[in-house]
């Protein structure tokens, strides 16, 4: 019961916060709501025994990505921003389509059959701690993707520099 | 847990590519002449191509597979890479965006594609896709001072991210259903648990289809393509029109034929309307374009539609015909872009279709080459484009999709109209103003290679067909 | 015990809200944030699947998704910056140099 | 021996080739020598052939295979029998004389060589026509003479009327050939052959056969006969395809004489005579032939009454006389028809040549109202033309008398109601013929000269090269008929009806059902009718010259109809030419091609282009819209997959 | 079943015929574009050489067999079982000759009239020649299709670059019309390929039996390609535009060879491959042919443009050809083939002639002419030969062809025979009217003082005149090529019930 309650709270808050994020006229507000949203999601992860994920959710998302967003948002002319409408003219179409999609996805989810149960039972993970279990996997079984991810980050670095640096020598 | 050294042979080309990419990044610090970097890149790509030969095998716990199929695609990627680099250096100079990062980014993008082609696990697939996509986003926005380039990158990135999200949503569903992300395991589990008619599986399949359709620019998920193609630097447009599309097809083929092989009729039913729409919209909208890059963007959309026929057929022949077409398409499309690049000077954009008016008078050779590429894209023998289409149609008919082929041939007849318009302008109109050709040895070499390939494959396609067929059967 | 479907519905809801934002917001940054929202929705479902299937793969994937999201954000925001330099706007409806 | 027959057509052909190739640069004024030599050679061989045939030979051989396809085989080959020989003599003789005449007539013409090469070509084609041993070669000659007729009518091609007339002649003839051609198809399908011999010998086997033709069951032989007759109607200018012949007078006069009087136009009669084995098997066909001939002869004669153009009067007279020949064939008297053909060749050629002589003197003037009293200036022409006119009017013991009498008697004595009817018409026509022939003579040669002073000053007799042929033909016009003196008279003077006997093996000879008395009565009656025609003409044009004008005023409506040739040309123009061109312009080009086919051909691309511009607008450049469309796409696919 | 014969000549003559013009075109690439004289001479030499080479076919052809001769067969794409497979039989051999001859004449006629981009022009012409020869020689369906489509490119350029004022429209129309038709045929070919067990070998395909329904579908797919090319009635509208706008050489090749390919296609593919459908659909085809004959003829009566008139007359004449082919009897088919040849010669000659005068007056409007016969007598006399050949006067080739066709057509269907025979009346009407308006009557201003034709021009027309009379007077030279092949074809179409006896009898008579 407590779990349901807990979930209910998180779910409710996450949805409300999501809505706030996408509907606020002032981008700064949106970013702020999003920050709160990320914390809630991190909470949910904890609730699902994914401590490490919860941590990077906070660190990477809330800490890095959102700050980046905030920086850029602050470049904007907020005054003008607030005076304008936040939605494009075709927003009812967007609402309609996403609404219907939601309905169809949810209706389909009813026929979900759970997949095979794996070896990482909650107990097993707990005994090893989540971070360690994940780390082990990352450096053994998932070494290859991990390496690719590093390249992605490298590309991101190059890209950010190439695109955003004021002067480049050529 | 002991750390076992994985078998690195299958990933040798990728390792070579990574080394070169990073090497180029460093080389840029010491080498001032950018042509040299380009040259080194080509050599590197050549080495990578050599290592392809002995790279067969599966590694990283079945996550990564190097087979004929992936090798064929990797060959296309490398050809694409080399040709793009050949065309790039002068163009970059002309536009004053001659940064060394360009080469490593293009290498990373190619690396991403290679990873995609070999990915046997959705995680690798996703990461490869993102590596390719992120690099391409940057490359699309490489003309930093140009608003169009910015806009192209922006649109490409945002819509790309949107598509990625959809892909991931699909992934999460298939993961939830099967508890795995390995394509082969997914297939095995679907068969075992009799999930074939499960709506969630269907939904996840749809999301995969949508995400890949986005990458190959199939209608209605093509909307980014014309804008991104138009705004991006022209060599990158050429690169994008072949590379990511081919990579998209690579994963599309692999995912749908491996993971969803047992529900072929279902996903064929998804792709048939998509293919028809793609051919229709691509060919029809191309008719009224005034910008040649944009026109080729629509043409590339249309070609994706034809290639989908091969996938829909779902037979080894179908796949082989798709591979073969992709290979041919790389040459003919890049060839056409090479001409466009030649027309670009500092002051003259040369992107308007009207700029081609009377080209045969001012530059007969360029016009003749363009003519060959245009007829090849139309699919008129003895150009390679015909052989490609022909094999595609053949395998689709063999798989029982005769009516679909009839639709396709009719649309391909429509496509003649806009390709011919270029030929018509070049040959049948008087030149408006004198167009300067911004030729360079690189572009010239690229043209020689492409036109040679287009004619050679057009007349003697036997070896290539066989190679494609082999690649498809070693799937 | 909370049924898995609840999580899935939550995830779907967040995904659709993100999509809605992407489809309708004028501001590029908010659109970007909407995409992040969608990714988070995927993450929620992945983590919950992982939890219920007692498998780590979902977590691994989430880990990579967050990584990629960060990289994507970096590049995206760099592009926005470049755009912003050339044209003082973050509104997509004023960003249609190319169309048709 | 056999090969020498081939010389008959080949000599003129060679002359044609030589003239057309060398004439313009080399031969020029000497072109006539080649042609005359060739036709003279042909004449000699033809006469030899005549003797061969008289001695009982019947020649039929193939030269080479012309076409071979499946079961269809046809050769170029020659059949020389009595009928052929008669035609050969007529053709070569007339041709030769007219060649000679032309030397004077065409003297100084810039296209001199051209004229002679056409004449040679014509002679060749005509000879191929009459010598053919199969239908297809007949058709070959048939079209060949049509071609030459086209060339020669349009000889003065810079004149619009001349080139119009040539074209008209060819096209009108094609209408006839259309039927002729289909006739040949049916002959081939029936007999598996297009050679005369097997066809005629087997025709009897099909006497009662019928065939389904275009959905109608028709008597086979009637069908074939009538289809072949279509060709005759065209070539011989019978109703309703007679319209080209009067116009054909645009050609030089020797041409009118040779082609449009003596030889080509009689090819139709020749065809009917040649196919008599087929025609004889069909009562209906014969009736049609007889009636067509009778009606045409009457019709043309009435028009001839009021015309003022010298050559046109003779042309209508030709049409009329051709009608006579068909009338004869139609009552089964093929011999009489051919006999008339033979005599007619002489007197009608003579008439034309005389007319040419008159024209020559008058400086090209053809309106007889502007002539008069020419006998004073051109006695030879006058006398010869007078004799020719007597001959055509059936003046006793001249050539025309015998042949015409033979026809009328055969028609009368044939015993059928149709025979009696056509006899009545024939007699009426004899009266009319005499009348207009002498109207012509009187207006032209008698009275006072009504032309300009200038013309009067230039009047002169024609040169020898022209008058000599006139005189030679005049002999023919007088004596040609003596080979066919009917038994009634022949018994008295001890001669046979040679021609009838001669032709009997080919054409047969129907026995009349009348008595000698009746025959004599008919003969006298028709002679009187002819003489009264002459008398009436004398009365109206010599004694009371003001009368014709008054009558014309009195019956102005009738006069106008006759003067305008019953408005047949106008009628054809109205029902065939105009509608066809109107349809071509306003329906086929205007509607079918432009509004239907082209509308689709251009409409589809235009629609696609319009659709394209429309579809372009979907690509607004707005990312949200792109995403919305993507999302819609997903939704649709989901709906499609889940709802199916 | 052995269906081919060994090459009677010791060398691959067909490949040489195909390659030689290509080699020439490649050679032209290396000649400076300013050296027009050399370009023209080289083109002429090459085309003449090709023609002379093709004469060997004429002399070495074995007329006693229907088997394919001069056969060459090499693997091309083994995986798809495609071969480079060439050969000729009695149906196709004459067209190769026609193509080589017409190319020579086209080179000659373009000597002066092509004033810009001379080099490209002759390259196009030579490439076109080799594609044309290829079409008639191919025994592999895909090879055929390859040449068939490849031909579009040079032709498109010929019309579009060197054509008249409205050339672009005409060129695009030509291209798209033909392409739409051809692609449907491609689908048909592939369907056939799979049904027949993966073979493109025409000879092999001919031995198979196909279900009727499939035959029907394929028949219409092939129809789309061939009928457009012929062109048959409802799809003929590209022809007037293409003919009118094309340069003289283009019109000549178009008329003489290109549109023959449609009819050839019916003969080579539709009839033997789809015998049942051909038989069943023959009435439809006959009806369309009759419509084309009459429709094309009548429409000529209202034309004001010289070339357009001749173009529509082609529609009418090709109506005769298809009529003959779908009469499905010996006379019809042989007549049809002969008439294809005839039409190539006559209409080719007419276009050559029109080109000659157009070069002098630069007008195609009939009303601008008049009295040409007075100023250009030699030209006028040659033209009248072509006119009458077109009308089908006996002793000219037109007669032989049309007569056989009408005979065959009449045999097959009385209505078709009778109605199409009316075409000969209409034909005489428009051709003579044309001749009158151009050559007769008073000399018009535009025409006054024109030079008569030059020796070079005479040389282009003379071969046509000779052929017109040759075929007209002794058609057996040409008909004898066809007998065994047509017989064989008809046996296939009519299920072996063709009257073989008659032919043997005739052959004996001949000997």
Query: What tens digit of pLDDT does each residue of D568-614 get?
Result: 888 888 888 888 888 888 888 888 888 888 888 888 889 999 999 99
Contact residues, chain B, for C38 at CB < 8 Å = 162, 165, 169
Whether residues B134 and C15 touch (CB distance < 8 A) is answered with no
* E strand residue ranges, E112-170: none
- Average pLDDT rounded to a whole number, residues B330-349: 91
- Which pLDDT does position B242 carry in this prediction? 94
Whether residues D635 and A97 touch (CB distance < 8 A) is answered with yes
Instruction: Quote the minimal CA–CA distance from D174 to chain E in Å.
Output: 5
E142 touches chain B (CB under 8 A): yes
Contact residues, chain B, for E75 at CB < 8 Å = 462
E100's tokens: 């080589």
Question: Hunting for tokens 């509004």 — which residue is that?
Answer: D595
Q: Which of residues 549-608 of D touch B (CB under 8 A)?
A: 605, 608
Cα separation of D150 and D260, whole Å? 11
Whether residues A115 and B134 touch (CB distance < 8 A) is answered with no
D516 in helix, strand or coil?
helix
D140-164 b/e (C-beta count within 10 Å ≥ 16 → b): bbbbbbbbbbbbbbbbbbbeeebbb
Q: Which residue of C has its CA nearest to D613?
A: C100
- Which pLDDT does position D397 carry in this prediction? 82
Whether residues E160 and B469 touch (CB distance < 8 A) is answered with no
pLDDT tens digits for range E351-407? 999 998 988 888 888 888 888 888 888 899 899 999 999 988 888 999 999 999 999
**Of B410-424, D145-159, D257-271, where does the model show the most confidence?**
B410-424
- Average pLDDT rounded to a whole number, residues D365-387: 82
Note whether D165 and D243 are within 8 A (CB): no
Whether residues A104 and D639 touch (CB distance < 8 A) is answered with yes
- Facing residue for A159 by CB, picked from B64, B127, B138: B138
Whole-complex ipTM: 0.92
pLDDT tens digits for range C39-48? 999 999 999 9
Taking phi first (over 0 means left), then psi (-120 to 50 degrees means alpha), and beta for anything else, what does residue B196 get? alpha
- Facing residue for D635 by CB, picked from A88, A100, A108: A100
Sign of CA dihedral E38, E44, E47, E50: negative
Q: Which subunits have 3 or more CB–CB pairs within 8 Å of chain A?
A: B, C, D
- Which pLDDT does position E507 carry in this prediction? 40
Instruction: Quote the minimal CA–CA distance from A53 to chain C in Å.
Output: 7
pLDDT tens digits for range B211-262? 999 999 998 999 999 999 999 999 999 999 999 999 999 999 999 999 998 8
Whether residues D71 and E499 touch (CB distance < 8 A) is answered with yes
Please determine, for residue B294, whether its predicted confidence score (pLDDT) is greater than 90. Answer: yes
Instruction: Quote the minimal CA–CA distance from C21 to chain D in Å.
Output: 9
D13's tokens: 């052909």
Q: Do chains E and D touch (3 or more CB pairs under 8 A)?
A: yes
- Which pLDDT does position C68 carry in this prediction? 94
Contacts D–E by Cβ distance under 8 A: 157
Task: Mutate one of B101, B150, B170, B288 to test the C interface: name it (highest C CB count within 10 A).
Answer: B150
For chain D, what's the residue count? 644
Instruction: Quote the minimal CA–CA distance from D627 to chain A in Å.
Output: 9
Contact residues, chain D, for E440 at CB < 8 Å = 154, 157-158, 160, 162-163
- Which pLDDT does position E302 carry in this prediction? 87
Question: E122: buried, middle or exposed (CB in 10 Å: 19+, 13-18, 0-12)?
Answer: buried
B402 touches chain E (CB under 8 A): yes
Contact residues, chain C, for A53 at CB < 8 Å = 43, 47, 59, 62-63, 66
Domain ranges of chain E: 275-511
Task: Mutate one of A85, A93, A109 to test the D interface: name it (highest D CB count within 10 A).
Answer: A93
- Facing residue for D608 by CB, picked from B203, B274, B287: B287
Please determine, for residue E497, whether its predicted confidence score (pLDDT) is greater than 50. Answer: no
- Average pLDDT rounded to a whole number, residues E435-444: 87
What is the rounded average pLDDT for all residues in chain E?
Answer: 88
Q: How confident is the model at residue D248 (pLDDT cuts 50, 70, 90)?
A: confident
Domain range enclosing B271? 12-472
What is the rounded average pLDDT for all residues in chain D?
Answer: 85
Whether residues B189 and A163 touch (CB distance < 8 A) is answered with no
Alpha-carbon distances of B359 from A114, B376, B454, D534, E508, rounded to whole Å: 64, 19, 21, 87, 64
Q: How many CA atoms lie within 13 A of B284 on its CB side?
A: 24
Helix residue ranges per DSSP H, B96-146: 101-118, 122-140
Instruction: Quote the minimal CA–CA distance from D608 to chain C in Å.
Output: 16
Query: Going by C-beta distance under 8 Å and a sequence separation of 6 or more, which residues neighbour residue E187?
Result: B393, B397, B402, B405, B406, B409, E221
Please determine, for residue D488, whether its predicted confidence score (pLDDT) is greater than 80. Answer: no
pLDDT tens digits for range B80-92? 999 999 999 899 9
- Which pLDDT does position E498 carry in this prediction? 40
- Lowest-confidence pick of C7-21, D455-469, D617-631: D455-469
Please determine, for residue E499, whether its predicted confidence score (pLDDT) is greater than 60. Answer: no
Q: How confident is the model at residue E501 (pLDDT cuts 50, 70, 90)?
A: very low
- Which pLDDT does position D89 carry in this prediction? 87
E121's tokens: 């022009």
Note whether B76 and B242 are within 8 A (CB): yes
Q: Which residue of A has its CA nearest to C51?
A: A48
E22 touches chain B (CB under 8 A): no
Question: Hunting for tokens 């290592």 — which residue is that?
Answer: B51
Other residues' Cβ atoms within 10 Å of the Cβ of residue D609: 14
- Which pLDDT does position E509 carry in this prediction? 40
pLDDT tens digits for range E45-68? 999 999 999 998 888 888 888 888
DSSP 8-state class, residue E443: P
Cα separation of B256 and B252, whole Å? 6
Q: Which subunits have 3 or more CB–CB pairs within 8 Å of chain C?
A: A, B, D
Please determine, for residue B100, whether its predicted confidence score (pLDDT) is greater than 50. Answer: yes
Please determine, for residue C1, whether its predicted confidence score (pLDDT) is greater than 80. Answer: no
Contact residues, chain A, for D631 at CB < 8 Å = 94, 97-98, 101
Task: Mutate one of E171, E183, E218, E250 to test the B interface: name it (highest B CB count within 10 A).
Answer: E183
Is the residue at B1 inside a domain? no
Contact residues, chain A, for B121 at CB < 8 Å = 145
Is the residue at B124 inside a domain? yes
- Which pLDDT does position A169 carry in this prediction? 58
- Which pLDDT does position B383 carry in this prediction? 92
Contact residues, chain E, for B465 at CB < 8 Å = 77, 79-80
Query: Going by C-beta distance under 8 Å and a sequence separation of 6 or more, which residues neighbour residue B84?
Result: B106, B235, B236, B238, B239, B334
What is the rounded average pLDDT for all residues in chain B?
Answer: 91
Note whether D216 and D70 are within 8 A (CB): no
- Which pLDDT does position D627 carry in this prediction? 93
**Cα-Cα end-to-end distance for chain A:** 64
E494's tokens: 């009519």
B374's tokens: 């245009």
Q: How confident is the model at residue C72 (pLDDT cuts 50, 70, 90)?
A: very high
Cα separation of E53 and B45, whole Å? 50
Is the residue at B7 inside a domain? no
Task: Mutate one of D16, D62, D69, D579 to test the E interface: name it (highest E CB count within 10 A).
Answer: D69
- Which pLDDT does position E510 carry in this prediction? 38
Beta bridge partners of B121: B182
Cα separation of E35 and E40, whole Å? 9
pLDDT tens digits for range B20-62? 999 998 988 888 888 888 999 999 999 999 998 888 888 888 8
∠ Cα D565 D570 D573 (to 5°): 140
Note whether E353 and E435 are within 8 A (CB): no
Please determine, for residue B188, whether its predicted confidence score (pLDDT) is greater than 80. Answer: yes
DSSP per residue, B255-322:
IIIIITGGGHHHHHHHHHHHHHHHHHHHHHHHHT--BHHHHHHHHHHHHHHHHHHHHHH-SHHHHHHH
Cα separation of D163 and E439, whole Å? 10
B161's tokens: 């991210």
Q: Do chains E and C touch (3 or more CB pairs under 8 A)?
A: no
pLDDT tens digits for range B418-469? 999 999 999 988 888 778 888 899 999 999 999 999 999 999 999 999 999 9
pLDDT tens digits for range B194-213? 888 889 999 999 999 999 99
Task: Mutate one of A65, A109, A121, A170 to test the B interface: name it (highest B CB count within 10 A).
Answer: A170
Instruction: Quote the minimal CA–CA distance from C2 to chain B in Å.
Output: 16
Q: Which residue of B has its CA nearest to D620?
A: B223
Query: Going by C-beta distance under 8 Å and a sequence separation of 6 or more, which residues neighbour residue E483?
Result: D68, D69, E63, E90, E334, E503, E507
Which pTM value belongs to this model? Answer: 0.91
B181 in helix, strand or coil?
coil
Cα separation of A151 and A165, whole Å? 20
Task: Mutate one of B10, B28, B123, B151 to test the A interface: name it (highest A CB count within 10 A).
Answer: B123
Cα separation of D635 and D624, whole Å? 16
Contact residues, chain A, for D626 at CB < 8 Å = none
Q: Which subunits have 3 or more CB–CB pairs within 8 Å of chain D?
A: A, B, C, E
- Which pLDDT does position D369 carry in this prediction? 80
Contact residues, chain E, for B360 at CB < 8 Å = 117, 120, 161
pLDDT tens digits for range A39-88? 999 999 998 888 999 999 999 988 888 888 888 888 777 777 778 888 88
Instruction: Quote the minimal CA–CA distance from B84 to chain C in Å.
Output: 23
Q: Which of residues 48-87 of C touch A (CB under 8 A)?
A: 48-57, 59-60, 62-64, 66-75, 77-82, 84
B17's tokens: 């590519």
Q: Which residue of E has its CA nearest to D76?
A: E473
**Number of folded domains that form chain B:** 1
Other residues' Cβ atoms within 10 Å of the Cβ of residue D387: 23
- Which pLDDT does position D546 carry in this prediction? 81
Please determine, for residue A115, whether its predicted confidence score (pLDDT) is greater than 90. Answer: no
Note whether A121 and A41 are within 8 A (CB): no
- Average pLDDT rounded to a whole number, residues D55-82: 86
């Amino acid at each position: 019961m407590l779990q349901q309650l807990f979930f209910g709270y998180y779910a409710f808050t996450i949805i409300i916060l999501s809505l706030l994020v996408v509907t606020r006229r002032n981008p700064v507000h949106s970013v702020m709501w999003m920050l709160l949203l990320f914390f809630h999601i991190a909470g949910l992860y904890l609730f699902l025994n994914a401590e490490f994920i919860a941590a990077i959710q906070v660190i990477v998302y809330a800490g890095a990505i959102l700050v980046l967003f905030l920086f850029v948002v602050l470049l904007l002319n907020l005054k003008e921003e607030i005076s304008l409408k936040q939605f494009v003219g075709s927003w009812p179409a967007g609402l309609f389509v996403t609404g219907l999609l939601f309905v169809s996805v949810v209706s389909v989810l009813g026929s979900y059959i759970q997949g095979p149960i794996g070896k990482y039972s909650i107990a097993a993970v707990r005994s090893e701690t989540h971070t360690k279990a994940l780390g082990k996997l990352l450096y053994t079984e998932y070494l290859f993707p991990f390496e690719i991810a590093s390249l992605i980050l490298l590309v991101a670095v190059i890209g950010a520099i190439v695109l955003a640096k004021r002067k480049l020598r050529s | 847990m002991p750390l076992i050294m994985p078998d690195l042979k299958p990933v040798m080309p990728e390792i070579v590519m990574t080394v070169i990419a990073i090497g180029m990044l460093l080389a840029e610090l010491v080498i001032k002449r950018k042509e040299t970097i380009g040259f080194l890149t080509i050599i590197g790509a050549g080495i990578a191509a050599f290592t392809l030969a002995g790279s067969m095998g599966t590694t990283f716990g079945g996550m990564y597979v190097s087979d004929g199929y992936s090798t064929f695609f990797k060959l296309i990627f490398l050809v694409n890479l080399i040709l793009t680099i050949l065309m790039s250096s002068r163009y970059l100079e002309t536009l004053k965006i001659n940064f060394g990062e360009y080469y490593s980014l293009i290498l990373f993008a190619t690396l991403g594609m290679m990873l995609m082609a070999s990915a046997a696990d959705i995680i690798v697939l996703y990461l490869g896709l993102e590596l390719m996509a992120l690099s391409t986003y940057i490359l699309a926005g490489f003309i930093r001072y140009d608003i169009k380039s910015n806009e192209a990158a922006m649109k490409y990135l945002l819509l790309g991210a949107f598509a990625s999200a959809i892909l991931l949503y699909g992934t999460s569903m298939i993961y939830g259903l099967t508890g795995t992300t390995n394509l082969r395991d997914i297939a095995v589990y679907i068969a075992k648990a009799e999930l074939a008619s499960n709506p969630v599986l269907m939904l996840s399949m749809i999301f995969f289809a949508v995400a890949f359709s986005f990458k190959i620019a199939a209608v209605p998920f093509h909307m980014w393509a014309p804008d991104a193609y138009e705004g991006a630097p022209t060599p990158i447009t050429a690169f994008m029109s072949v590379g990511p599309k081919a990579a998209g097809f690579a994963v599309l083929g692999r995912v749908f034929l491996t993971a969803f092989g047992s529900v072929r009729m279902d996903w064929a039913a998804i792709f048939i309307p998509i293919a028809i729409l793609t051919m229709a919209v691509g060919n029809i909208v191309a008719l009224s374009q005034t910008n040649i890059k944009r026109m080729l963007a629509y043409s590339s959309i249309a070609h994706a539609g034809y290639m989908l026929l091969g996938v829909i057929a779902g037979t080894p022949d179908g796949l082989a015909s798709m591979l073969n077409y992709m290979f041919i398409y790389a040459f003919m499309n890049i060839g056409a872009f090479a001409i466009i690049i030649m027309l670009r000077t500092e002051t003259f954009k040369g992107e308007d279709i009207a700029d081609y008016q009377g080209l045969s008078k001012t530059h007969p050779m360029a016009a003749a080459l363009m003519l060959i590429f245009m007829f090849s894209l139309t699919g008129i023998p003895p150009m390679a484009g015909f052989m490609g289409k022909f094999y595609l149609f053949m395998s689709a008919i063999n798989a029982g999709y005769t009516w679909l082929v009839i639709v396709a041939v009719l649309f391909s007849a429509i496509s003649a109209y806009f390709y011919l318009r270029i030929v018509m302008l070049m040959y049948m109109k008087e030149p408006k103003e004198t167009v300067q050709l911004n030729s360079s040895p690189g572009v010239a070499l690229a043209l020689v290679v492409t036109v040679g390939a287009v004619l050679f494959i057009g007349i003697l396609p036997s070896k290539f067909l066989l190679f494609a067929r082999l690649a498809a059967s070693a799937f | 015990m909370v049924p898995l479907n609840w999580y899935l519905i939550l995830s779907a809801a967040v995904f659709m809200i993100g999509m809605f934002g992407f489809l309708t917001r004028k501001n590029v940054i908010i659109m970007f944030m909407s995409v992040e929202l969608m990714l988070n929705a995927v993450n929620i479902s992945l983590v919950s699947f992982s939890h219920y299937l007692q498998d780590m793969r979902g977590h691994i994937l989430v880990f990579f998704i967050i990584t990629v999201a960060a990289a994507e954000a970096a590049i995206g925001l760099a592009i926005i910056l470049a755009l912003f330099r050339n044209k003082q706007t973050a509104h997509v409806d004023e960003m249609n140099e190319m169309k048709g | 021996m056999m090969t020498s027959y081939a010389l008959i057509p080949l000599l003129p052909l060679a002359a044609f080739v030589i003239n057309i190739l060398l004439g313009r640069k080399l031969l020029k004024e000497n072109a006539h020598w080649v042609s005359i030599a060739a036709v003279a050679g042909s004449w000699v061989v033809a006469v030899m052939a005549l003797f061969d045939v008289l001695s009982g030979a019947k020649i039929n051989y193939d030269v080479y295979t012309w076409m071979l396809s499946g079961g269809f085989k046809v050769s170029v080959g020659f059949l020389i029998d009595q009928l052929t020989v008669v035609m050969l003599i007529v053709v070569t003789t007339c041709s030769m004389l007219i060649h000679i005449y032309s030397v004077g007539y065409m003297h100084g013409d810039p296209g001199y060589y051209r004229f002679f090469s056409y004449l040679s070509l014509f002679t060749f084609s005509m000879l191929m026509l009459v010598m053919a041993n199969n239908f297809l070669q007949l058709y070959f000659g048939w079209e060949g003479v049509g071609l030459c007729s086209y060339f020669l009518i349009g000889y003065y091609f810079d004149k619009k009327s001349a080139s119009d007339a040539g074209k008209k002649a060819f096209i009108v003839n094609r209408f006839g050939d259309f039927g002729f051609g289909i006739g040949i198809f049916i002959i081939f399908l029936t007999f598996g052959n297009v050679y005369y011999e097997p066809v005629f010998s087997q025709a009897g086997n099909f006497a009662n056969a019928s065939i389904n033709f275009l959905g109608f069951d028709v008597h086979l032989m009637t069908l074939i006969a009538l289809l072949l007759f279509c060709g005759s109607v065209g070539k011989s200018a019978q109703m309703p395809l007679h319209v080209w012949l009067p116009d054909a007078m645009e050609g030089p006069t020797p041409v009118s004489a040779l082609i449009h009087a003596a030889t080509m136009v009689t090819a139709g009669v020749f065809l009917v005579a040649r196919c008599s084995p087929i025609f004889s098997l069909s009562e209906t066909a014969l009736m049609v032939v007889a009636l067509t001939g009778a009606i045409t002869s009457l019709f043309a004669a009435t028009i001839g009454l009021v015309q003022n153009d010298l050559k046109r009067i003779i042309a209508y007279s030709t049409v009329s006389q051709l009608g006579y020949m068909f009338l004869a064939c139609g009552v089964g008297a093929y011999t009489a028809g051919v006999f008339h053909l033979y005599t007619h060749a002489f007197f009608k050629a003579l008439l034309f040549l005389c007319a040419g002589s008159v024209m020559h003197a008058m400086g090209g003037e053809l309106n007889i109202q502007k002539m008069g009293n020419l006998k004073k200036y051109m006695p030879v022409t006058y006398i010869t033309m007078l004799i020719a006119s007597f001959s055509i009017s059936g003046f006793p013991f001249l050539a025309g008398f015998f042949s015409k009498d033979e026809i009328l008697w055969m028609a009368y004595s044939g015993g059928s109601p149709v025979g009696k009817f056509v006899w009545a018409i024939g007699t009426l026509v004899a009266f009319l013929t005499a009348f207009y022939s002498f109207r012509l003579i009187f207006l032209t040669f008698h009275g006072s000269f009504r032309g300009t002073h200038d013309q009067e000053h230039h009047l002169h007799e024609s040169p020898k090269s022209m008058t000599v042929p006139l005189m030679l033909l005049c002999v023919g016009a007088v004596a040609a008929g003596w080979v066919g003196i009917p038994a009634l008279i022949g018994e008295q003077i001890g001669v046979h009806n040679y021609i009838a006997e001669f032709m009997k093996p080919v054409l047969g000879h129907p026995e009349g059902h009348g008595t000698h008395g009746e025959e004599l009565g008919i003969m006298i009656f028709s002679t009187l009718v002819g003489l009264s025609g002459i008398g009436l003409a004398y009365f109206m044009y010599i004694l009371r010259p003001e009368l014709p004008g008054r009558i014309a005023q009195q019956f102005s409506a009738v006069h106008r109809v006759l003067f305008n040739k019953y408005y047949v040309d106008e009628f054809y123009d109205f029902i065939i030419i105009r509608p066809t061109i109107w349809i071509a312009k306003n329906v086929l080009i205007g509607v079918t091609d432009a509004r239907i086919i082209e509308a689709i051909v251009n409409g589809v691309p235009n629609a696609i282009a319009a659709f394209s511009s429309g579809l372009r607008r979907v690509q607004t450049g707005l990312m949200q819209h792109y995403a919305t469309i993507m999302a819609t796409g997903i939704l649709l696919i989901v709906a499609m997959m889940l709802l199916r | 079943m052995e269906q081919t014969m060994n090459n009677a000549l010791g060398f691959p003559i067909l490949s040489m015929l195909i390659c030689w013009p290509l080699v020439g075109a490649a050679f032209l690439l290396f000649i400076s574009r300013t050296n027009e004289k050399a370009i023209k001479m080289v083109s002429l030499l090459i085309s003449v050489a090709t023609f002379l080479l093709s004469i060997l076919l004429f002399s070495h052809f074995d007329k006693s067999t229907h088997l394919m001769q001069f056969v060459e067969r090499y693997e091309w794409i083994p995986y798809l079982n495609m071969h480079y497979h060439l050969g000729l039989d009695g149906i196709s051999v004459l067209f190769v000759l026609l193509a080589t001859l017409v190319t020579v004449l086209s080179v000659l006629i373009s000597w002066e009239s092509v004033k810009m981009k001379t080099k490209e022009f002759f390259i196009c012409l030579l490439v076109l020649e080799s594609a044309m020869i290829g079409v008639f020689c191919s025994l592999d369906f895909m090879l055929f299709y390859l040449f068939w489509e490849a031909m579009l490119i040079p032709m498109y350029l010929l019309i579009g670059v060197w054509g008249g004022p409205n050339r672009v429209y005409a060129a695009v129309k030509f291209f798209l019309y033909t392409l739409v038709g051809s692609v449907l045929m491609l689908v048909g070919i592939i369907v056939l390929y799979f049904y027949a067990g993966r073979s493109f070998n025409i000879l092999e395909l001919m031995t198979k039996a196909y279900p009727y329904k499939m035959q029907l579908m394929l028949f219409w797919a092939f129809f789309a390609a061939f009928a457009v090319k012929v062109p048959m009635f409802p799809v003929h509208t590209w022809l007037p535009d293409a003919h009118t706008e094309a340069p003289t050489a283009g019109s000549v090749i178009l008329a003489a060879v290109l549109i023959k390919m449609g009819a050839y296609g019916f003969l080579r593919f539709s009839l033997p491959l789809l015998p049942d459908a051909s038989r069943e659909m023959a009435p439809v085809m006959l009806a369309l042919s009759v419509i084309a004959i009459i429709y094309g003829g009548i429409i000529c009566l209202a034309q004001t443009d010289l070339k357009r008139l001749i173009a529509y007359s082609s529609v009418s004449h090709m109506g005769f050809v298809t009529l003959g082919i779908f009469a499905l009897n010996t006379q019809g088919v042989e007549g049809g083939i002969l008439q294809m040849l005839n039409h190539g010669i006559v209409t080719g000659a007419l276009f050559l002639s029109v080109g000659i005068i157009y070069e002098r007056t630069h007008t195609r409007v009939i009303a601008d002419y008049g009295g040409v016969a007075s100023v250009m007598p030699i030209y006028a006399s040659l033209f009248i030969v072509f006119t009458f050949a077109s009308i089908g006067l006996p002793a000219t080739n037109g007669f032989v062809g049309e007569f056989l066709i009408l005979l065959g057509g009449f045999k097959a269907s009385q209505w078709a025979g009778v109605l199409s025979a009316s075409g000969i009346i209409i034909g005489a009407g428009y051709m003579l009217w044309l001749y009158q308006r151009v050559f007769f009557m008073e000399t018009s201003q535009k025409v006054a003082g024109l030079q008569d034709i030059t020796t070079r021009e005479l040389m282009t027309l003379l071969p046509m005149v000779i052929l017109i009379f040759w075929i007209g007077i002794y058609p057996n030279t040409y008909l004898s090529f066809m007998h065994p092949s047509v017989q064989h074809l008809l046996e296939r179409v009519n299920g072996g019930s063709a009257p073989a006896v008659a032919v043997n009898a005739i052959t004996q008579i001949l000997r």
